[in-house]
Structure 1
Amino acid sequence: MKNINRLVNFVSQKLLAILLIITLSITVACDPSIDALAFDLPEANSQEDLTPPSAAFSVVEGNDYLTYSFSNQSVSATMYLWEYGDGNSSTGIDGANIYPDEGTYTVTLTATDNLGVSSTYSEEVVVVEPEIPPTLIPVILEPGFDNGNDSRDPWRNSSLGGVIQITGSSGYYEGSNGAKLPDPGSDRIGYQMISEFTPNKTYSLSFKYRFKNDTDDNGLLHVKMLTETNDPADIEANTVGSITFSEDVAGVEALATGTLIFNSGANSSLAIFFYNEFDEAYIDSFEIEALD
């Protein structure tokens, strides 16, 4: 008997629920003042966004003037669209672009959150190729030794050797005079520190030279570019460029042209250093120019 009562109660509850649903449906259908979609789930943008996104970014220039990166500073966003103003776009958190040429480009970031709410931020990027300053050309004092013995003063370094002599012998110089390095034993050298090199540039040091056949040995003439030193033991370590000429190759009949190509490296000042071995030598008409 108890089981029958329970069954009757269960069926009665179910019938009441069904009647209630039918009644509500009829009421909604018959009463236009009731919103039939009031109980639907909200779509994107259909409910208030309490933390809407805010798009923002900062611009970072690269080492190459055409290359830029963009640091995303947006808040409350999960999706991003970068438009770089040159037809390129991306969807990463941060942006990056290589521009095709100089110009003014408008970069736009659209930041969107999970509710579909979007925010945009734009900024102009002005792409300009930087001017490259001309390579500096250092000034060599007394490059042609034409002021007689006074020409020796810029070429002195008593810590490295004796001072050069000056020659006026025909055929051994250009202009009025030239520098003379007598037979070895006198230990004469030329050394001049010159400034205002552009770092990391390639230069050409040209000059005239000649040997005098005074010995049975083939003379050698060494020309170097050094970082500053007053210690003979440091010459090799301080050398950034060097060239050697041999009497048996150059001959002794006339002035020959010599050229030393070197790179200034990180230096803005370097020294010209020259000396001879085994036979008398002459050098004149120094000139320096930039090759790049």
Structure 2
Amino acid sequence: MKKFLTKSIYRASMFIVLLALSQSCSDLDKYEPLGANSIADATPPSADFSFSQGVGQNEEWKDYTFANLSSNAITYLWEFDDNTTSSDSDAEKTYPGEGMYSVTLTATDGNGVSSTVTKTLEIVEPEVPDVLIPEILEPGFDNGDAGDDPVEIDSRAVWRNSDLGGVLQITGSSGYHDGNYGGKLPESADRIGYQEIGDFTPNTDYVLSFRYRLKDDVSDMFGVLNVLMVKPTTDPADVAANTVASVSFSEDVVGTSELATGTLSFNSGTNTTLAIYFFNELDEAYIDTFTLAADD
């Protein structure tokens, strides 16, 4: 009886071991990459990507960035139609010009299973928008001040900013202006001109032109005229930080005998509104005939 039980126990144990081995081999067979008993990858890779065109004033439109949107993959292969490739997760490409271009991304998982997607780009150079030219009010001060005809118009009104200085004067003296009148900054250097102008095209080059003259009344010092383009401000302490561009003219360099032409070149940056700001130092100065144009 004892021998019979021992044999039965032995046989049962062997059956369990053989069953376990059979099950283990069956599980291994399922995950073999190839063969009759293999099964599909439970999480196969899926290749996908998006792309964006570069933006800028030059030829950034030829630059493309490719963002990898693939899932369940660990390696990548980008293929471009000029036979260049990249194995980076994301990719960048500079194209020679307008046209139709294809991009292929292959994403592969740890089991060697791959997914491939191809997309076509139509590259077109963006149209350059028309440059907006903001209007300068009373650019030549030709309506004079409130004491002149017509009395209801004062050229100084649009050039006021009492936080930065007193309002400029108006001159009608021959040789110190174009047209009817001109702006005058007296020797005391306590008056300024300031006017906000809007509707600039962002990130665009402009040039501000004007006529000016320095009067040599103070013989032992050289007068200076400063013309600035600034982001709008009413605080003198913020002028330096808000200055986009500036130019200065000194009487020892430009002379004083007649009106000269000055220019200030600047880029609008991200701004759509800026301000013309001018003031003098040490001696009398005159300014007139402001014009604004795109700097091609």
Distance in 1, Cα, partners of 2:156 & 2:138: 8
- 1:47 aligned to which of 9, 18, 36: 36
Give the CA deviation at 1:233: 3.4
Give the CA deviation at 1:80: 5.5
1:52-131 equivalent positions in 2, closer than 5 A: 53=44, 55-61=46-52, 63=54, 64-65=60-61, 66-71=63-68, 73=70, 75=72, 81-90=77-86, 96-110=92-106, 119-131=115-127
Contact 1:45 1:115 in 2 (8 A): no
Q: Give the secondary structure class of the aligned counterpart of 2:187.
A: coil
Answering whether residue 145 of structure 2 is matched by residue 145 of structure 1, we say: no
Distance in 2, Cα, partners of 1:236 & 1:128: 41
Q: Is the deviation greater in 91-100 or in 269-278?
A: 91-100
Distance in 1, Cα, partners of 2:236 & 2:113: 75
* Fraction of identical pairs, as percent: 54
Distance in 1, Cα, partners of 2:111 & 2:237: 76
> 1:258-285, CA deviations, whole angstroms, 9 ceiling, x for partnerless residues?
1223333443222211122333221101
Distance in 1, Cα, partners of 2:225 & 2:75: 71
> 1:71-122, CA deviations, whole angstroms, 9 ceiling, x for partnerless residues?
15255x7776543334334456665544333222233345567888765433
Instruction: State the Cα RMSD in Å.
Output: 3.2
1:270-285 equivalent positions in 2, closer than 5 A: 270-285=274-289
Aligned partner of 1:260 in structure 2 is: 264
Contact 2:70 2:107 in 1 (8 A): no
Give the CA deviation at 1:175: 1.6
Answering whether residue 198 of structure 2 is matched by residue 195 of structure 1, we say: yes
Answering whether residue 169 of structure 2 is matched by residue 165 of structure 1, we say: yes
* Matched AA of 2:40: T
Structure 1 runs not aligned, ≥5 long: 1-42
Contact 1:72 1:95 in 2 (8 A): no
- 1:287 aligned to which of 279, 285, 291: 291
> 1:178-232, CA deviations, whole angstroms, 9 ceiling, x for partnerless residues?
11222316x2221111122334444322211112333324322222222222233
Contact 1:72 1:93 in 2 (8 A): no
* Matched AA of 1:227: K
Aligned partner of 2:181 in structure 1 is: 177
Give the CA deviation at 1:286: 0.9
Distance in 2, Cα, partners of 1:114 & 1:232: 64
Aligned partner of 1:6 in structure 2 is: none
Aligned partner of 1:16 in structure 2 is: none
Q: Could you tell me the TM-score, scaled by structure 1's length?
A: 0.70
Give the CA deviation at 1:54: 5.4
Q: Could you tell me the TM-score, scaled by structure 2's length?
A: 0.70
Distance in 1, Cα, partners of 2:204 & 2:125: 20
Tell me the number of residue pairs that the alignment of Structure 1 and Structure 2 aligns.
248
Contact 2:45 2:109 in 1 (8 A): no
* Matched AA of 1:197: F
